[in-house]
Structure 1
Amino acid sequence: MKYKHLVLIFFGFISFNSYTQDLGVKSYSLNECITIALENNLDLKSTALRANSAKIQHQQAKANMLPSINGSFNLGINDGRSIDPFTNDFINQELTFSNMGLSLNMTVFNGFRLLNNAKQNRLNREASELEKEVAKQDLILNVTLAYLQVLNNKAVLELNKQRYQTTKKQLEVQKDFFENQSGNPADYADILGQIANDETNLLVSKSNLNNAKLSLLRLMNLKDVQNLDTKTELLALEKYKLSAADVYLLALENLATFEANELRIKAAKKGVSVAKAQFSPNVSIFSGINTNYSSAAEVFTSTGTTIIETGDFVSLNGQDLPVMTEQTNFSSDKINYNDQLDNNLNTVIGVAVNVPLFNGFRAKNNVAIEKMRMEESILELERTHLDIKNTIAQVHFDMEAVYNRYQSLQKQVEAYKESYRINEIRFNNGVSNFLNYITSKNNLDNAKVNLANTKYEYLLLTKILNYYKGDMLSL
């Protein structure tokens, strides 16, 4: 998660939509918002689906090492000249045929491709689970920051309401002076301009609050911004005790993104091993059992004998006598379906060896591609280390600067309070002019707004540091 992206969450809610109150407003605590977001957020659901997909791929990779068993059955009718599957003779008649078979094929050795592929998918599955946890942590942080933004805009809105009410009271005083022609007409005109300015600030504050709520609602996957409000929570503002180096060391130990990247590297290494298996021979065993049926198959049964002429003759005493022979008579019967399946049963078993000799350098190029993927995974881990280290250093520096500014603004608010108190008394007694009064009032109002913004900016930066050091409870 980039620091600039996180800062935009805090300062990127400026637009001019209308904001309306609703009697059915429901107030949510920060923990309630986080719980709803974890249940409803669409991006988190997508990450969970990817993790489930990686789980299924791992299960399939393990199942690929099991033997494959397949059964087959077919039944058909052939009309015309064909080969009788029972006798292998040519026939010219309608023939009903059927075949059944059961086969088994199992890879015995293929350069450990299946084994390494299963290990690779297991590592990818573990990385996906960690990335789901990273997405969950990111969502918790984003909800926390969006919630802080709502609180900040609520505080600014209240300050602008107070500013508007104070100016409105002063307008009533100046209006009486103006109508009685006892005051400076320019003061009344100036106060009219000031109240218009305060009204504008009030509208902008309402719009900013509305947009902050919309951003929170998007993370929670809720729809109605008018029914959302945040509970005012006590937010302690204490000086952050850890250095940037301390936060980075804790991040190395606790952030799931580092472990996920390391698992991706290990998975990429297994991918290289899988690619190298293409150079190895593939040894497998196979076996099968088959049988068939033919409607032309018949069985012949002897029904007796008859004496018939052979067509030959012998001469005896000048007389031609026919040669007779005994012929056996048969009756034919169709062989039924079950008997044929039993009689025609045959089995096969064997070993198959496939030796890769040349495949257009496909195996070589696949290995090179997998090695580049492994190197990219290593670079991604290094990039993650560098980005997070630099981000922590930048956030920590900004956090300290904001804390010091907050201390200065507290003193500034106290000073402007006293200045405004004095100028208000002097102005109401006619001792000072309106310019001095309105200047001190604007200085105080602006200082209060700046103090509120600085407070929430500091809290935001500390939440980011807590996220990086893996302390989700502090969010």
Structure 2
Amino acid sequence: MKRLLFIFSIFCLPIAKGNSQETLTLERCLQWGIENNLSLQNRRNEIRKSQYGISENRAKLLPQINGFANFNDNLRPPVSVTDGSSYGVPYNVTHTLQYSANAGVQLQMPLYNQTVYTAVSIAKTMDEISRLSYGKAREDLIMQICKIYYLGQTTTEQISLIKANIARLEELRDITQAFYDNDMALDVDVKRVNINLENLQVQYDNAQAMLIQQLNMLKYILDYPEEKEIALVPANTETISQDSFNGLSEDLYELRMLQSQERLAEQQKKIINHGYIPSLSLSGSWMYSAYTDKGYHWFHSGPSNHWYDALSLGLSLRVPIFDGLDKRYKKRKALLDIENIKLTQEDTRKNLQTQYLNATSDLLNNQRNFKKQRDNYLLAEDVYEVTSDRYREGIASMTEVLQDEMRMSEAQNNYISAHYNYRITRLTLMKLSGQLDSLVK
């Protein structure tokens, strides 16, 4: 019975190991990355901070109530001297008591302050910019994940083709070795095959190492557990999709952020102008005060421990008259900021339009290249098969076979590279035309 369990565990171990590897689709990677990417979480926290900023500025419009309490020990009490003619003396000298205390509450509330109102509007614009920055970071993350995923798929396809080429050369080596054993081939022919076989093995090992690095980078971007093994869905390199793009989108985050920045600069200019407008606020206080010449008098009844209350309510009007031309120069700087943002908007729009035109041209060129490289790859594969068959029949030489094998490997690499370049260009056009979110849905 123990022997049966041991044998069962040996056969089940590779199965369990194989099942531990998870195959991730591109959509799954995008969803995982958006939910868990650390940089994107930082952007979400910035949105929360901007929302708190709105509440912080709104709080300035609410009443501000503060409590206070003071105790003072006049070690050398000051005196006040007043006119004493009404008392029959030249001067009336009043001595301050040594101890005094007061406690109460104070009220401050703006009734009209245009600067505070504009500050609330600025906080809302900052919140909008934070949201647009998050959207831009999310879009950049989608682009980054797609590029790494496409690169991993390309490397996987390259590994598959190299394995197939190694299998072909191993078969050719066995045939050449048989020919050599029967004095039908030279020793140099066997060495040539072995050299090419070793070169392919080096390419295979390099591609495997490259794929591991790409998958590790993908896990880092996704914040995926490092201990888990992942695999990618194989790419369909047989065909390419025919997409239609309707020009540069005006809803791109780069353009929307510049529009919000222009609005922010306009509001900052307004807040400078509002510095010339008077402001009105409400103030009030309610307090109790007590005075005595001996501290212990506060602990028994009498006039010295009596607390006197005071209540006041008033309006405060602030009218700016002259600030040394400070706001004048600030306004000029704000106007230059607005002009610079408008120039940046125009430059950015032209740059994005140029990128769109170039990407459209590259897409058409990559489509043509893909079709040509695919035809060349299939043709080179057919030529290699024919030459290999002729070699088996003793008609073709080993040199011809190895030359055709090298041409086929080169055609394979060009074919895979053309497919990757097409997908990257298509991804760029999806971003510029505002269709990138369709990859996540």
Are 1:213 and 1:225, in contact at CA under 8 Å, matched by a contact in 2? no
Which has the larger strand fraction?
1
Are 2:156 and 2:234, in contact at CA under 8 Å, matched by a contact in 1? no
Is 2:436 aligned against 1:468?
Answer: no
Aligned residue for 2:40, secondary structure, equals helix
Q: Aligned residue for 1:394?
A: 358
Quote the Cα distance in structure 2 between the aligned partners of 1:79 and 1:377. Answer: 60
Quote the Cα distance in structure 2 between the aligned partners of 1:209 and 1:100. Answer: 73
* Superposition map of 1:264-343 within 5 A: 264-296=261-293, 333-335=301-303, 340-341=306-307
Which has the larger helix fraction?
2
Is 2:191 aligned against 1:196?
Answer: no
Are 1:30 and 1:144, in contact at CA under 8 Å, matched by a contact in 2? yes
Quote the Cα distance in structure 2 between the aligned partners of 1:186 and 1:271. Answer: 81
Aligned residue for 2:247, secondary structure, equals helix
Work out which of the residue numbers 326, 332, 337 in structure 2 matches 1:373: 337
Q: Aligned residue for 2:247?
A: 247
1:40–1:236 Cα change, 3 Å: farther
Are 2:272 and 2:327, in contact at CA under 8 Å, matched by a contact in 1? yes
Are 1:297 and 1:334, in contact at CA under 8 Å, matched by a contact in 2? no
May I ask how many residue pairs the two structures share in their alignment? 407
1:46–1:416 Cα change, 3 Å: same
Cα deviation for residue 438 of structure 1 reads: 0.8
Work out which of the residue numbers 167, 172, 185 in structure 1 matches 2:174: 172
Work out which of the residue numbers 179, 186, 189 in structure 1 matches 2:188: 186
Is 2:39 aligned against 1:43?
Answer: yes
Cα deviation for residue 92 of structure 1 reads: 7.6
Cα deviation for residue 442 of structure 1 reads: 1.7
TM-score by length of 1: 0.78
Cα deviation for residue 468 of structure 1 reads: 2.1
Is 2:90 aligned against 1:126?
Answer: no
5+ residue gaps, structure 1, are 1-21, 301-331
1:463–1:92 Cα change, 3 Å: closer
Is 2:325 aligned against 1:361?
Answer: yes
Q: Aligned residue for 1:222?
A: 224
Cα deviation for residue 215 of structure 1 reads: 2.5
Is 2:65 aligned against 1:69?
Answer: yes
Cα deviation for residue 109 of structure 1 reads: 3.7
5+ residue gaps, structure 2, are 1-16, 80-92
Cα deviation for residue 365 of structure 1 reads: 2.0
Work out which of the residue numbers 258, 261, 264 in structure 1 matches 2:255: 258
User: In structure 2, what residue type is equivalent to 1:464?
Assistant: T
1:64–1:177 Cα change, 3 Å: same
Higher deviation after alignment, 372-381 or 264-273: 372-381
Q: Aligned residue for 1:135?
A: 137
Quote the Cα distance in structure 1 between the aligned partners of 2:234 and 2:303. Answer: 90
User: In structure 2, what residue type is equivalent to 1:99?
Assistant: N
TM-score by length of 2: 0.84
Q: Aligned residue for 2:103?
A: 100
Deviations 1:57-88 (A, max 9, x none): 12212222223222212346x2743369xxx9
Work out which of the residue numbers 29, 32, 35 in structure 2 matches 1:33: 29
1:79–1:336 Cα change, 3 Å: closer
User: In structure 2, what residue type is equivalent to 1:103?
Assistant: Q
Deviations 1:356-384 (A, max 9, x none): 33333321222222222222332332233
Quote the Cα distance in structure 2 between the aligned partners of 1:402 and 1:385. Answer: 25
User: In structure 1, what residue type is equivalent to 2:388?
Assistant: E
1:238–1:297 Cα change, 3 Å: same
1:239–1:28 Cα change, 3 Å: closer
Aligned residue for 1:82, secondary structure, equals coil
